[in-house]
Structure 1
């Protein structure tokens, strides 16, 4: 049986976007941006808080990425590069190196590369990787 490991995404919510921070074993990995919380409306909302298994997925637009396949009422949710949630995201999560406002950041490709390096390493050491999404402070 594969060992389970958890990445923690702690979020803060705003009208223009959702900002977060991913940690692994207490170590900062990257910040994240997402759409505002709009009750899980497809293409308009961040995904609900919860625990999600991450899986390797191949997408036409983004190539091979980290997918979040089991989101209730949603499909094709993945982690990919973007620096402005309202302009570039349709429900996915974008890692960034620096937050610059609600749903905005910079250095997304660099942050994505670092996150993928970690997740792929965990997969290659025969671990199941989960993303636990919580409100900041809970």
Structure 2
């Protein structure tokens, strides 16, 4: 199972669209690209395995495994990247500004309703992160 996140970078934040089998699942928000610096940058483009994780703060959420130079990169609900993220990815229903969105919890549940059952069946679930420019060049 492969999800693809196409990003667009801005100095204030990173916007994305998350697809599965070519279909829009949700939009995403992240911190801006700042050379993969911990807690202040989005993660590098690449292919990551997803895993289910639980914490008291976020309950069930998703974890990106083996992010180079980083740890605990999560996918969890948030509507404002600068206020609520420390390098993680937040699904949102709509973009409302750079690094901002709304109805994150709704988008998060839409995503996890696909991912969590697959993980429960031991299906490999991956996330490919790429830039929008790469996406449009390959079409």
The alignment's TM-score, normalised by the length of structure 2, stands at 0.92
Counterparts of 1:103-114 in structure 2, within 5 Å, are 103-114=99-110
Q: Which runs of 4+ in 1 moved over 6 A?
A: none
More helix by share: 2
Report whether the alignment pairs 1:13 with 2:2: no
Q: How many residues align?
A: 134
Cα RMSD of the aligned pairs, angstroms, is 1.0
Match of 2:126 among 110, 127, 130: 130
Counterparts of 1:42-81 in structure 2, within 5 Å, are 42-81=38-77
Query: What secondary structure, in the 3-state scheme, does the structure 2 residue paired with 1:46 have?
Result: coil
Q: How far apart are 1:62 and its partner, in Å?
A: 1.2
**1:93 — aligned with what?**
89
Cα shift readout 1:79-132 (whole Å, capped 9, x = no counterpart): 001001011100000000000111000010000000000101322344100000
The alignment's TM-score, normalised by the length of structure 1, stands at 0.93
Unmatched segments (≥5 aa) in structure 1:
none
